[in-house]
Structure 1
Amino acid sequence: MARTLRGARIGVVVLVLLTLAGAYHFGIFARVAEPKALAETLVEMGAWGYLAFILAYTVLQPFGVPGTIFVVAAPLIWPWQTAFALSMIGTMCASVVGFSFARFVAKDWISARIPARLRKYDESLARNAFQTVVVLRLIFWMPQVLHSFFGVSKVGFWTHFWGSLVGYVPPLLLVSYLGGEMFDASGRLQTDAWPILAGLLIASLLIAALARTYERRRLSGGPRSSRPARGR
């Protein structure tokens, strides 16, 4: 059984490496290097662009390609409702792939490389996993290292899934709806976008602070309320 599991893990790693090598060979990395190039490619594909967007996002983002390239490109091509839906699907699929790869394929190797700035959230995940996942996704979005951190942590798959979904909604909705005002045709950030991003950052930090305050009050009040009253 152990040998079979080891063989399966090696097979997955080989498949990932072959996929990335194929993407490099066929110039896919060059096309997704910036939002403008990605947008032009997807427009040329017509209706197949929807599927290509999700597949490329799912396969490439967990292994190095920044997810913001896809999120920024989407509103340059489609109406904001379509851009938001595709960005959510692609982001969730990429998160699941990154989480699953870290948990089931390369847990020991990845666990040794998780930065200390994320390790400090281990205790929060143990106390309140869902809330912590929401806050971290809301603040940091979708970096590969965060997928890996959740994968090697003790947080459950579905807790990670639903917590990530909730945490992704505000930033992805904002970028999809205001993408035309935040980015130019080349996908570069416009000057007028800085107040919007600052507002999103402030809102995210405020939500995180409120969540921590609520958690501290709940934990500090819990032990006292659980003590039985002494008789006189």
Structure 2
Amino acid sequence: MSAKSTVRLALGLFLGAAIAAALTFRSELTPTALEARLGAFGVWAALAFMIVYAIATILFMPGSVFALAGGALFGPVLGAVYNLGAATAGATVAFLVARYLASDWVAEKSGSRLKQLLTGVEDEGWRFVAFVRLVPLFPFNLLNYALGLTRIRLVPYVLATAICMIPGAAAYTYLGYAGREAVAGREGAIEKGLLALALLAIVVFLPRLIKRLRKPASLSVGELRRRLDGGQDILLLDVRDEADFNGAQGHVPEAVNIPLQKLPGNLPELEDRRERPVAVMCFTDRKSKAALKVLSASGFTGALLVDGGMKEWNRLGYPATRQEGQSER
């Protein structure tokens, strides 16, 4: 039996056992019921909790219930460690299931958004995984499976997943701990509750901050040339004015020209590109960045900035189309 077949068999058996366990204990997925069940495991309670949490992640069960329970049962520090470890383990198994066992099912469930993930990972690698973990553009449980269909390797996926889940794990764990303290009427419960809410507010605000600070997805001129020469599905959009497009600097032969000021009114022409790659360039990057904001605000998920624009294209000596009589200055 090949290594790949062995992995598939092991994943299939684990998935079957996970489904059976979920069906058996589906009525007990509450912090109170979990505490009662875990009490019977004694020193193995933490391991049992992590296994159940990981299975829940694989089977699309709400992770927030387990994150809160982890904080209530094990405290803010150990609870966060157990929650993070379990969620990462579940996300890893889901990734492997998609890659080796259920790729067709995952592709069907992911729909058109899978193209965004494939393009993002191809362009940015682990950085894109980190971004989608911190900014919830995709449901968490489905994202675990969908990323298994991309080219990212297992280790970068696991590391980016674990590190970028830390803020959420810490906030929900502390919220569960604070809730337990409040119910028990212990001293300082109000202060702990306010701190928990503050942490949760930070987690809610974090995606907005990251989206503002994140540099636009980009493409080098060399990579653009490779994709165009390879006949890949990518639209090259040049947003310079018509005079500059046909001027001395010329333009890439495959480029479509829509000046920046006309772009908002011409978006219907690009409707079929809404979830497909669109490389945006100008002479340098100034107009390109403004065009990317227009496209992103209108829901274009595959827009890419061509770093260096036409200036870099000419510097590298790639062919450019110019009007007859024009020469590069």
- TM-score bracket for the superposition, by shorter chain length: 0.7 to 0.9
Out of 193, 202, 210, which is 2:205 matched to?
202
Residue of structure 2 equivalent to 1:98: 94
Provide, for residues 85-113 of structure 1, a one-character-per-residue CA deviation record: whole Å limited to 9, x for no partner. 11111111111100000001111232222
Alignment of structure 1 residues 10-49 onto 2, 5 Å: 12-13=11-12, 15-25=14-24, 28-31=25-28, 33-49=29-45
Out of 158, 162, 165, which is 2:159 matched to?
162
Alignment of structure 1 residues 120-135 onto 2, 5 Å: 120-135=116-131
**C-alpha distance in 2, partners of 1:101/1:58?**
13
Out of 45, 48, 54, which is 1:52 matched to?
48
TM-score of the aligned structures, taking structure 1 as reference length: 0.78
In the TM superposition, residue 49 of structure 1 has moved relative to its aligned partner by 0.7
Deviation larger for 89-98 or 194-203? 194-203
Q: Secondary structure at the match of 2:109?
A: coil
Largest Rg, 1 or 2: 2
Deviation larger for 6-15 or 45-54? 6-15
Out of 61, 64, 87, which is 1:65 matched to?
61
**C-alpha distance in 1, partners of 2:11/2:211?**
36
Which structure's residues are more often strand, by fraction? Answer: 2
In the TM superposition, residue 130 of structure 1 has moved relative to its aligned partner by 1.3
Residue of structure 2 equivalent to 1:78: 74
Q: Once superposed, what is the RMSD of the aligned Cα atoms?
A: 3.5
Q: Does 1:149 align with 2:146?
A: yes
**C-alpha distance in 1, partners of 2:162/2:7?**
29
Residue of structure 1 equivalent to 2:172: 175
**C-alpha distance in 1, partners of 2:170/2:312?**
40
**C-alpha distance in 1, partners of 2:316/2:21?**
68
**C-alpha distance in 1, partners of 2:74/2:18?**
27
**C-alpha distance in 2, partners of 1:212/1:36?**
44
Q: Is the 8 A contact 1:114 1:145 kept in 2?
A: yes
Q: 1:227 to 1:46 in 2, by over 3 A?
A: farther
Gaps of 5+ in 2: 184-192, 219-287, 290-303, 318-328
In the TM superposition, residue 39 of structure 1 has moved relative to its aligned partner by 2.9
Q: Is the 8 A contact 2:68 2:177 kept in 1?
A: no
Q: 1:226 to 1:65 in 2, by over 3 A?
A: same
Q: Secondary structure at the match of 1:119?
A: helix
Which structure's residues are more often helix, by fraction? Answer: 1
Gaps of 5+ in 1: 186-190
Q: Secondary structure at the match of 2:135?
A: helix
Q: Is the 8 A contact 2:135 2:210 kept in 1?
A: no
Q: 1:177 to 1:227 in 2, by over 3 A?
A: farther
Residue of structure 1 equivalent to 2:247: none
Q: 1:77 to 1:226 in 2, by over 3 A?
A: farther
Q: Secondary structure at the match of 1:47?
A: helix
Alignment of structure 1 residues 206-225 onto 2, 5 Å: 206-213=209-216, 219-222=305-308, 224=311
Report the identity percentage.
20
* Count of residue pairs the alignment pairs up: 224
**C-alpha distance in 2, partners of 1:158/1:7?**
20
**C-alpha distance in 2, partners of 1:17/1:203?**
37
Q: Is the 8 A contact 2:71 2:173 kept in 1?
A: yes
TM-score of the aligned structures, taking structure 2 as reference length: 0.57
Q: Is the 8 A contact 1:39 1:74 kept in 2?
A: no
Q: Is the 8 A contact 1:20 1:60 kept in 2?
A: no
